[in-house]
Amino acid sequence: MLRRRQAGTKTTRMTGQFPATRLRRTRATAWSRALFRETVLTPADLIWPLFVTEGSGVEDPIGSLPGVSRWSVDLIAARAKEAVALGIPCLALFPNTQADRRSDDGREALNPDNLMCRAIRAIKDACGDQIGVLTDVALDPYTSHGQDGLVDGAGYVLNDPTVEVLIGQSLNQAAAGADVIAPSDMMDGRIGAIRDALEEAGHANVQIMSYAAKYASAFYGPFRDAVGSRGLLKGDKKTYQMDPANSEEALREVEMDLAEGADSVMVKPGLPYLDIVRRVKETFEVPVFAYQVSGEYAMIEHAAAAGAGDRDALVLETLLAFKRAGCSGVLTYHAAHAARLIG
């Protein structure tokens, strides 16, 4: 017997009734669960964020991110080769810029020999096109005040002057060999400006993955430790990052960035914003990524260390949730560990 029910605005078909239909039948064995699985997680769904630091032979553990380190440029190629071997298709790079290279105007972002550019070249020299390199575009790793852009005398982040610097930063990274430019700054209009500049400079095949819906979140603390900006940040980022209460606004942000030339979009943070991921995917039907941010990662690690859950199971279940919600891929510090578990 068939009957129908309303599920929101969609009409779904109900097939059969108990006991003729027993939904537990297909869950009874491992082979059957695998056969009927709706969502599949593979290493190709993962992007591995890595932190770069000055020095030689340096592996510098980050206290608030258990198991994550900053790597000197000479060691970053080994991480890239590890990722290739694990089937991870892309790395995301973030620099820990020395204090004496930070300034109010973030000019180190434009230095063709800065940490980011040297790391890009090292990875490309070691792996070529075997792996993609995604680079963060924002000024917070380079400013002495920790904000993502230029500020006026009152500490307000200036939109249009910041976009001009972001254009230069993007071209700098593209010239070094970046495959994907990922603006995380949340300035208005920067996607179109960067896309135009890339086209004019002959970088037509360099992708843009826009941090389109990036929220002013409490989950970023360990990341700010990793890039050295936590103690520098003056004020907060609520005048440019999104209000966690808003979802309609996220759709407007995504729509504008797609219209300006973004190849893919990102939602950040991850698990607390899976509803945003789903809305973006269903509304625009474009590649959507999510960033499982530092605070999310740290909570899993601390929960596992406290005996509150099995680490491997927690890692895989949370990553699967991103895919189920509609993500094409996930930026996660668990990428290498998850790839080994999946493999």
- Catalytic residue positions? 214, 268
Q: Taking a C-beta distance cutoff of 8 angstroms, is the pair 269, 219 a contact?
A: yes
Query: 């609520």: which residue's tokens?
Result: 238
Decide: residue 57, CB within 10 A, 0-12 exposed, 13-18 middle, 19+ buried: exposed
Pairing type for strands 180-183 and 59-61 reads: unpaired
CB-count exposure of residue 216 (10 Å: 0-12, 13-18, 19+): middle
Q: What is the DSSP string of 134-202?
A: EEEE-STTTBSS--SS-B-TTSPBPHHHHHHHHHHHHHHHHHHT-SEEEE-S--TTHHHHHHHHHHHTT
Beta pairing, strands 264-268 & 288-292 = parallel
DSSP letter assigned to residue 215: B
Q: What is the C-alpha to C-alpha distance for residues 46 and 20, in angstroms, rounded to an integer?
A: 41
b/e code 273-300 from CB counts within 10 Å (16+ = b): bbebbbbbbeeeeebbbbbbbbbbbbeb
Asked whether the beta carbons of 195 and 261 are under 8 A apart, the reply is yes
Residues linked to residue 134 through DSSP beta bridges, in sequence order? 92, 180
